[in-house]
Amino acid sequence: MSFNILVTGGAGYLGSTMVPDLLAAGHNVTVLDNFMFKQASLNHCCYHPNFSVVKGDIRIESVIKPLLKEADIIIPLAALVGAPICSQDPIGAKTTNHDAVTLMLKNISKEQRILMPTTNSAYGTGDENNYCTEESPLRPISQYAIDKVEVEKELMQHENAISFRLATVFGMSPRMRLDLLVNDFTYRAVYDRFVVLFESQFKRNYVHVRDVSRAFQHGINNFDSMKGEIFNVGLSDANVSKKELCERIQQFVPDFTFLEAPVGKDPDQRNYIVSNDKIEATGFSSEFSLDRGLQELIKGYTMIKNTRYGNV
Do residues 125 and 213 share a domain? yes
Domain membership of residue 10 as a residue range = 4-170+206-233
Domain stop point among 233, 248, 272: 233
pLDDT digits (tens, 9 = 90+) for 66-115: 999 999 999 999 999 988 888 899 999 999 999 999 999 999 999 999 99
Q: What pLDDT does 267 receive?
A: 61
16 and 148 belong to one structural domain: yes
Domain assignment present for 138: yes
Instruction: Identify the CATH number of the domain in which residue 43 sits.
Output: 3.40.50.720
249 or 267, which is more confident? 249
- pLDDT tens string 44-71: 999 999 999 999 999 999 999 999 999 9
Positive or negative, the CA dihedral 213, 218, 219, 220 is positive
Instruction: Give yes or no: residues 218 and 99 share one domain.
Output: yes
Is there a single domain that holds both residue 74 and residue 121?
Answer: yes
Task: Report the C-alpha gap between 251 and 291 in whole angstroms.
Answer: 9
Are both 81 and 124 inside the same structural domain?
yes
Angle at which helix 290-300 crosses helix 181-191, to 10 degrees, equals 50
- 291 and 215: one domain? no
- Does any domain span residue 162? yes
pLDDT at residue 122, as a whole number: 87
How far is residue 295's CA from residue 253's CA, in Å, rounded to a whole number?
A: 10
Is residue 312 situated within a structural domain?
no
Please state whether the predicted TM-score (pTM) of the whole model is above 0.85: yes
Domain count, the chain: 2
User: Could you read off the pLDDT of 166-183 as tens digits, one per residue?
Assistant: 999 999 999 999 999 999
For the chain, the C-alpha Rg in angstroms (whole number) is 19
Q: Write the CATH number for 190.
A: 3.90.25.10
Query: Same structural domain for residues 265 and 163?
Result: no
Tell me, yes or no, whether 305 lies in a domain. Answer: no
Residue length of the chain? 312
Kindly state whether residues 197 and 141 are assigned to the same domain: no
- The answer to the question of residue 164 being in a domain is yes
Same domain? For 212 and 193 the reply is no
Q: What is d(CA 223, CA 283) in angstroms, rounded to the nearest whole number?
A: 13
Taking the alpha carbons of 5, 230, 129, 235 in that order, is the dihedral positive or negative?
Answer: negative
String of DSSP letters for the chain: ---EEEEETTTSTTHHHHHHHHHHTT-EEEEEE--TT---TTGGGTT-TTEEEEE--TT-HHHHHHHHHT-SEEEE-----SHHHHHH-HHHHHIIIIIHHHHHHHTS-TTSEEEEEEEGGGGTT-STT-EE-TTSPP---SHHHHHHHHHHHHHTTSTTEEEEEE-EEES--SS--S-SHHHHHHHHHHHTSEEEESSTT-EEEEEEHHHHHHHHHHHHHTHHHHTTEEEEES-TT-EEEHHHHHHHHHHHSTT-EEEE-SS---S-----EE--HHHHTTT----S-HHHHHHHHHHHTTS--SSTTS--
Same domain? For 114 and 225 the reply is yes
Domain identity same for 226 and 252: no
